[in-house]
Structure 1
Amino acid sequence: MSLHATVGPAKQPAVEPVRLQWSPVAPVHLGQTLSVLGRGSADPTVRVLSPDCVWITTRHHDLAVSARFTRAPSGAVSTTLERDIVVDAWGPGAITWIESAPNWCGAADDWTVFEGSAAYHLLPERLRLARRRHPGLRLPATGAVIDRAVIAIIEQRVTAMEAIRAYRYLVRLAGERAPGPAPAGMYVPPTAEQWRRIPSWQWHRAGVDPQRSATVMRTMQRASALERLGALDDPARVRAKLQTLNGIGVWTAAEITQCTHGDPDGISVRDYHLADYVCWFFDGAPGSDDRMEQLLEPWRGHRQRVVRLIKASGHRKPSFGPRLAPADHRRH
């Protein structure tokens, strides 16, 4: 990829943006790639305004950043997915963060090895068709392990609705408003120290039980180690190291590296829905984690890619059956 960076005055980080423009070497769909980082349409840290305009907030070395990903004018490029991507970033961390922006869009995610393998041709035709229809699907690699660790821990053992509500509440409580002209309601996630300062009664009010809040607190004590993990290249190694932390298991580790390291193989084993989802696609019936792993084994090394293709194919499993009811931890 080619990079062209223009740095605005450092004395006005919230007003003058830092800009980076680059030419992806393969198609990139901004909305499809970056949307996996968000939790609902009102996520305070991710807003997909259109397929070609996405806002994110993050921190770089504890410094706040908000960034807008858009497309450059078409010029001689025939398709939107191949046009240059422009990132404008605001905030005190913008200058040092901006060089990592391409990886947020999956610039380091290379599908060519998988697509050229014998295993790829074992995929059902529906999944190969999904890949042809969605050539811009990429796996993001944000490197922001602290941010993703908190999200994944809050999502442990609860419904998506509960986790989304809790995360929004806590980010707005302990974070700060997004710098620059970010959409209304966007906040920068808290630093590790700010997460640690949240009192127990606020976790309780957010609906996060003591076990999960304690796991967040313990994990934030290892913030420096988490930042170092963000710089590692091997997602499997990162997953293994994350699982040495008390309260982070195989599911949580995979949920983190799928977003922070563009993990092509990490699948969310022990997820409440995923095994049934995958098994319904291949078997036409519900199944277990063991059965899901058995079904995905031919594509080991690229199992997360296969899961993403199943989702891109439009597959839906039947909606009948028991639902996991939200638990109101604030009453305990």
Structure 2
Amino acid sequence: MAGRFAARTTAVPRRQPAAAATAASVPQLTRTWTPPWPLDVRLVLGPLRRGPADPAYRALSDGSFWRATRTPAGPGTLRVSAAPDGRISAAAWGPGAQWLLDGLPALLGEGDAPDAFRPCHRLLAVTHHRRPGLRLLRTGLVMESLIPSILEQKVTTDEAYRAWRLLVRTYGTPAPGPADPAFGTYGLYVMPDARTWATIPSWEWHRAGVDSKRSATILRAVRVARRMEEAASMELPEAMARLQLIPGIGPWTAAETLQRSNGAADAVTVGDLHLPGIVGHALAGDRNADDEAMLALLEPYAGQRHRATRLILLSGRIPPRRAPRMTPRDIARL
């Protein structure tokens, strides 16, 4: 399906590195915000990062975090840093700058309710106490997280990160704002818009290592991108149902997306290769737990099950690996 659709379209020209753009002339908007609770910006924004070379996200050595995204108002770049006194400083560039600054508190977990979490296992209680700055982010943007989540279906993380990196650098646009030398040869990129995703030729998906099933799912999603974005303002059950109307999007992909777009504290990831064994090992010493056993162990945390799994992952209580890692497939060579 992806190949037949792409054959009738025109390839989109490849973009130039952001360093070649004249983005430095874009006006900068700023905002300062002091949250009334502890905040660890690295922990909060970490789930947005898709690999160490994510073209849309950077964590720099000066303690700043950069994010390039496509907002309802247009492309935008956001820089966030935290002062020792807890004050958050943000700067933004591009048509989406004001939208990003207006959404800064929500992005950093203002709508989250960590106090509603009642741990009944010592591991969770200790980790919850040691991570007071952990809050669940909310981007308010669905496609930004849906597309990379689709790319991560049933492949290794390295394969998915490579596909995201190649496609965004090739078909995205250089992010507005300064071309910081710390970004390296390639600067920040804003992911393609829905129309551009839909015109990527089948051979370019293949070059990026994306099989026809995942590319076809992305094509179906971008054709109804506006309907997908509406899920950002829905309650979790309705949002899960909305995303899963697209063939190829199941509970795993929907949960991974809504954890980020909606700050969904109860969007537990089912269908994951490793998570049931990690949860089972941490809470019951059962590294062979399946989804059913995992959900039973998480039942006391109904409403906060995603937070519980994040705390387990942060605890470091991960079972030792017994089997070889999944072997990456080099689709581009087929």
Structure 1 CA distance for aligned equivalents of residues 166 and 142 of structure 2: 20
Higher mean C-alpha displacement, 45-54 vs 145-154? 45-54
1:117 paired residue number:
none
Q: Verify the 8 A CA contact 2:24 2:179 in the aligned structure 1.
A: no
In the alignment, is residue 142 of structure 1 matched against residue 139 of structure 2?
A: yes
Cα shift at 1:291: 0.9
In the alignment, is residue 64 of structure 1 matched against residue 67 of structure 2?
A: no
Q: Relative to structure 1, is the Cα distance of residues 257 and 147 closer, same or farther in structure 2, using a 3 angstrom cutoff?
A: same
Q: Verify the 8 A CA contact 1:254 1:266 in the aligned structure 2.
A: yes
Q: Verify the 8 A CA contact 2:119 2:301 in the aligned structure 1.
A: no
2:205 is matched with which residue: 177, 182, 203?
203
State the one-letter code of the partner of 2:129: R
2:33 paired residue number:
22
Structure 2 CA distance for aligned equivalents of residues 108 and 324 of structure 1: 37
2:239 paired residue number:
238
1:163 is matched with which residue: 157, 160, 167?
160
Cα shift at 1:99: 0.5
1:44 paired residue number:
55
Q: Which has the higher contact order (CA 8 A, sep 6+)?
A: 2
State the one-letter code of the partner of 2:70: R
Q: Verify the 8 A CA contact 1:266 1:304 in the aligned structure 2.
A: yes
Cα shift at 1:233: 4.5
Q: Verify the 8 A CA contact 2:68 2:78 in the aligned structure 1.
A: yes
2:309 is matched with which residue: 304, 307, 310?
307
Q: Relative to structure 1, is the Cα distance of residues 135 and 50 closer, same or farther in structure 2, using a 3 angstrom cutoff?
A: farther
State the one-letter code of the partner of 2:134: L
1:90 paired residue number:
93
In the alignment, is residue 99 of structure 1 matched against residue 96 of structure 2?
A: no
**C-alpha deviations, 1:125-168, integer Å up to 9, x for none?**
22211111110001111011011110111111111010001100
Secondary structure of 2:154's match? coil
Cα shift at 1:51: 8.6
Structure 2 CA distance for aligned equivalents of residues 105 and 242 of structure 1: 24
Structure 1 CA distance for aligned equivalents of residues 119 and 76 of structure 2: 42
**C-alpha deviations, 1:36-81, integer Å up to 9, x for none?**
1101221111112259421111111261111100124x5xx4xxxx
Structure 2 CA distance for aligned equivalents of residues 276 and 13 of structure 1: 48
Secondary structure of 1:69's match? strand
Q: Verify the 8 A CA contact 1:63 1:92 in the aligned structure 2.
A: yes
State the one-letter code of the partner of 1:153: I
Cα shift at 1:18: 1.1
Cα shift at 1:190: 0.9
Task: Normalising by structure 2, report the TM-score.
Answer: 0.87
Cα shift at 1:248: 0.7
Structure 1: any 5+ residue segments left out of the alignment? Answer: 1-11, 78-82, 115-119
Structure 1 CA distance for aligned equivalents of residues 25 and 262 of structure 2: 28
State the one-letter code of the partner of 1:178: A
1:265 paired residue number:
266
**C-alpha deviations, 1:232-290, integer Å up to 9, x for none?**
14223211211111111000000000111111011110111111111111232321111
Structure 2 CA distance for aligned equivalents of residues 129 and 272 of structure 1: 26
Structure 2: any 5+ residue segments left out of the alignment? Answer: 1-22
Q: Percent same amino acid at aligned positions?
A: 40
Cα shift at 1:15: 3.0
Cα shift at 1:32: 0.9
Supply the RMSD in Å over aligned alpha carbons.
Answer: 1.7
Q: Verify the 8 A CA contact 1:48 1:54 in the aligned structure 2.
A: yes
**C-alpha deviations, 1:151-202, integer Å up to 9, x for none?**
1111111110100011000000110112112542321111111111111110
Q: Verify the 8 A CA contact 1:67 1:87 in the aligned structure 2.
A: yes
Q: Verify the 8 A CA contact 1:31 1:51 in the aligned structure 2.
A: no
Q: Relative to structure 1, is the Cα distance of residues 331 and 93 closer, same or farther in structure 2, using a 3 angstrom cutoff?
A: same
2:193 paired residue number:
191
Q: Relative to structure 1, is the Cα distance of residues 242 and 201 closer, same or farther in structure 2, using a 3 angstrom cutoff?
A: same
Structure 2 CA distance for aligned equivalents of residues 249 and 182 of structure 1: 38
Cα shift at 1:16: 2.3
In the alignment, is residue 112 of structure 1 matched against residue 112 of structure 2?
A: no
Aligned length: 306
State the one-letter code of the partner of 1:29: D
State the one-letter code of the partner of 2:170: L
2:275 paired residue number:
274
Higher mean C-alpha displacement, 127-136 vs 178-187? 178-187
Structure 2 CA distance for aligned equivalents of residues 40 and 50 of structure 1: 17
Secondary structure of 1:65's match? strand
Q: Verify the 8 A CA contact 1:13 1:92 in the aligned structure 2.
A: no
Cα shift at 1:121: 4.2
